[in-house]
């Protein structure tokens, strides 16, 4: 089975491409730079170019659509770019998939829910996004789900938990805390540190994409989150236990999504997926990594 992965050179894209290869897929990467993962045919392209995208998708059975403006800070400062890439780009994916007769697995986000009306948050929870990042990710999701209903393009959306693991962006809280602590510099928690996230390891997320690509489930969104809720203070404590340094506190980050406990019961029912990498194991890997 042939799968094309958009955003294949990025953090999540690399982990997903690796997992797909390991599961026997033929993998083509489609990104603005070449993938460094061995065994992947790499196409340098832009999914805003519908003609080029349609040509690249031809002959593939599945499109795993991860490419996006995924940096919340960039989305906030450049919302028109986020709208173009995350909404128009996802619409182009739907059209290219229709032309190729391909299935689409879309990387959405748990952040589409906004302020929780109840917990645990399941897929029936209202979606009330309030930031250019999660607004545009939800819009992309809904354009693709509409293509499932109106154009017979099989689509499944995965609402990913906050991902972590080797290869994260340098501006992730993990990388910032670890780099500063390793240098003996103080690390700053924005707010009181009680805010929590269901940090979900990239290898677990990759397994969810493999399961979704193999499945015939369609027309729905599924939460892909770890059951562990970890506070930012807990994260800082783990880092400073390994690399002792001062912890300071600053103002809360504007636009931070409120903490929500999100349920992954439905994806376990539909795809048989649940997490395997504990936060303790994932952090040990990060803290032991050779950073040059």
Residue keyed to tokens 């991860």: 66
Measured CA to CA, the distance from residue 222 to residue 231 in angstroms comes to: 24
Residue keyed to tokens 């989305």: 75
Q: Which of 266, 255, 181 is nearest to 220 (CA)?
A: 266
Strand pairing partners for 27?
Answer: 3
Query: What's the pLDDT band for 151 if we cut at 50, 70, 90?
Result: very high
* Amino acid 53: pLDDT: 98
* Tens-digit pLDDT profile for residues 25-58: 999 999 999 988 899 999 999 999 999 999 999 9
Give the contacts of 255 (CB within 8 A, at least 6 positions apart).
72, 76, 131
Query: What's the pLDDT band for 259 if we cut at 50, 70, 90?
Result: confident
Q: Among residues of the chain, what percentage have pLDDT more than 90?
A: 94
Query: What's the pLDDT band for 257 if we cut at 50, 70, 90?
Result: confident
The angle at the Cα of 89, spanning 83 to 93, to the nearest 5 degrees, equals 150
Where do the domains of the chain lie, and which CATH numbers do they carry? 2-165+199-226+261-276 (3.40.50.720)
From residue 73, alpha-carbon distances to 64, 137, 176 in Å are 24, 14, 15
* Amino acid 35: pLDDT: 85
* Amino acid 158: pLDDT: 98
Query: What's the pLDDT band for 292 if we cut at 50, 70, 90?
Result: low
* Tens-digit pLDDT profile for residues 195-214: 999 999 999 999 999 999 99
Write down the mean pLDDT value for the chain.
Answer: 96
* Amino acid 36: pLDDT: 83
Query: What's the pLDDT band for 176 if we cut at 50, 70, 90?
Result: very high
Question: Is pLDDT above 80 for 254?
Answer: no
Residue 69's SS3 state is coil
* Amino acid 255: pLDDT: 67
Question: Is pLDDT above 70 for 80?
Answer: yes
pTM: 0.96
* Amino acid 291: pLDDT: 67
Query: What's the pLDDT band for 232 if we cut at 50, 70, 90?
Result: very high
Mean pLDDT of 122-131: 96
Question: Is pLDDT above 70 for 19?
Answer: yes
* Amino acid 142: pLDDT: 98
Mean pLDDT of 258-267: 94
Could you tell me if 101 and 41 are in contact, meaning their C-beta atoms sit under 8 angstroms apart? no
């Amino acid at each position: 089975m042939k799968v094309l992965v958009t955003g294949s050179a990025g953090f999540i894209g690399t982990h997903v491409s690796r997992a797909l290869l390991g599961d026997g897929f033929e993998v083509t990467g489609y990104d603005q730079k070449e993938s460094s993962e061995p065994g992947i045919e790499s196409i340098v392209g832009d999914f805003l170019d519908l003609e080029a995208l349609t040509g690249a998708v031809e002959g593939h059975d599945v499109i795993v659509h991860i490419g996006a403006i995924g940096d919340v800070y960039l989305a906030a400062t450049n919302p028109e770019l986020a709208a173009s890439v995350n909404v128009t780009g996802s619409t182009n994916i739907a059209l290219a998939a229709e032309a190729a007769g391909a299935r689409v697995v879309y990387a959405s986000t748990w952040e589409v829910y906004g302020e929780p009306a109840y917990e645990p948050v399941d897929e029936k929870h209202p979606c009330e996004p309030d930031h250019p990042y999660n607004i545009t990710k939800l819009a992309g999701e809904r354009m693709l789900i509409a293509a499932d209903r109106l154009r017979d393009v099989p689509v499944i959306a995965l609402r990913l938990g906050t991902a972590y693991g080797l290869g994260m962006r340098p501006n992730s809280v993990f990388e910032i805390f670890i780099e500063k602590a390793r240098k003996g510099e103080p690390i700053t928690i924005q707010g009181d540190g009680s805010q929590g996230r269901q940090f979900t390891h990239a290898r677990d997320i990759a397994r969810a994409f493999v399961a979704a690509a193999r499945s015939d489930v369609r027309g729905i969104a599924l939460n892909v989150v770890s059951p562990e809720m970890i506070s930012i203070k807990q994260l800082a404590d783990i880092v400073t236990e390994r690399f002792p340094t001062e912890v300071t506190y600053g103002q809360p980050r504007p636009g931070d999504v409120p903490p929500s406990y999100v349920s992954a019961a439905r994806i376990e029912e539909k795809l048989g997926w649940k997490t395997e990498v504990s936060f303790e194991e994932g952090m040990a890997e990060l803290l032991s990594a050779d950073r040059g």
